[in-house]
């Protein structure tokens, strides 16, 4: 075949040699209990030397100490000590420092082995631990709920289920890791290790789609972190 005609020849390849784009796969949600269990089993939040480790946000003194200071001051402001329910207590490095300021301190987490470990490590007359899925199970009675960097790991659907139960409490101390400056709140995620910060979003339960109803709000603490975000702790009275 002459070279001139070759340049005008249309080359046809068999289908098996054609490159096809793989359809984008949607990530399927794992049961939250399984996801959280894996986080501790594989040390996905760090702490390779620890059996259970809830991340730097529960251990860095620059983050933990100011938090313990403001929350203990709030709990101490009542003549009659409050019963506190700590939802998502994690490795209990933070909650352990608040037990003495409560009439009764009820610590809750979804990971059975974590709760079993906490029961052995932390013992006080006014302290008890429960293994519960806070989105599905009935929650213990208390005056005040603490949710410290817990909801940020959950899908909007699970957050909504939890918020419906919080109306049974008088006080809520809520901590969330949010972007610094303006951001679009409440972009949905799959429950697990990550948070909305990766999507330049953060959780705000007072705005859509949640519109959580409160009677009083106070900002207790803001702490900057190393991930271009802010850890915000707010007090709500219902």
Residue 134 contacts residue 108 (beta carbons within 8 Å)? yes
Q: Is the dihedral of CA 79, 85, 194, 41 positive or negative?
A: positive
Specify the pTM: 0.85
Find all residues with CB under 8 Å of 175, minimum gap 6, and list them: 67, 147, 148, 149, 231, 232, 233, 234
Q: What is the pLDDT of residues 124-148, one digit of tens each?
A: 999 999 999 999 999 999 999 999 9
Q: What is the pLDDT of residue 172?
A: 98
Q: What is the pLDDT of residues 22-81, one digit of tens each?
A: 444 555 666 787 777 776 777 665 666 667 766 677 889 999 999 999 999 999 999 999
Q: Which residue has the tokens 């008088």?
A: 170
Q: What is the pLDDT of residue 28?
A: 64
Name the phi and psi angles at 173, rounded to 5. -115, 110
Q: What is the mean pLDDT of the chain?
A: 86
**Per-residue confidence band for 2, with pLDDT thresholds at 50, 70 and 90:** very low
Using CA atoms, how far apart are residues 178 and 128, in angstroms rounded to an integer?
Answer: 31
87 pLDDT more than 60: yes
Q: What is the CA radius of gyration of the chain?
A: 24
Residue 234 contacts residue 211 (beta carbons within 8 Å)? no
121 pLDDT more than 60: yes
**What domains does the chain contain, in order, with CATH numbers?**
29-237 (3.40.50.150)
* Cβ neighbours, 10 Å, residue 99: 18
Q: What percent of the chain has pLDDT over 70?
A: 82
Q: What is the pLDDT of residues 156-214, one digit of tens each?
A: 999 999 999 999 999 999 999 999 999 999 999 999 888 899 999 999 999 999 999 99
């Amino acid at each position: 075949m002459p070279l001139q005609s070759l340049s005008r020849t249309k080359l046809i390849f068999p289908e098996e040699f054609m490159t096809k784009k793989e359809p984008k796969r949607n990530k399927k949600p794992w049961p939250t209990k399984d996801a959280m269990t894996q986080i501790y089993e594989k040390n996905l939040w760090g702490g390779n030397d620890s059996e259970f480790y809830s991340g730097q946000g529960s251990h860095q003194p620059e983050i933990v100490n100011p938090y313990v200071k403001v929350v203990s001051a709030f709990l101490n402001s009542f003549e009659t000590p409050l019963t506190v329910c700590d939802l998502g207590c994690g490795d209990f490095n933070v909650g352990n420092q608040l037990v003495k300021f409560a009439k009764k301190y009820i610590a809750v987490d979804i990971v059975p082995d974590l709760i079993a470990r906490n029961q052995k490590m932390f013992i006080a007359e006014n302290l008890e631990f429960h293994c519960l899925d806070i989105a599905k199970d009935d929650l213990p009675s208390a005056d005040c709920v603490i949710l410290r960097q817990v909801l940020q790991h959950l899908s909007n659907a699970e957050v909504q289920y939890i918020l419906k139960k919080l109306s049974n409490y008088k006080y809520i101390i809520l901590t969330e890791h949010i972007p610094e400056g303006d951001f679009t709140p409440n972009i949905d995620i799959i429950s697990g290790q990550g948070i909305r910060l990766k999507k330049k979003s953060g959780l705000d339960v007072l705005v859509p789609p949640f519109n959580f109803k409160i009677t009083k709000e106070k900002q207790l603490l803001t702490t900057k972190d190393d991930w271009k975000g802010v850890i915000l702790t707010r007090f709500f009275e219902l």
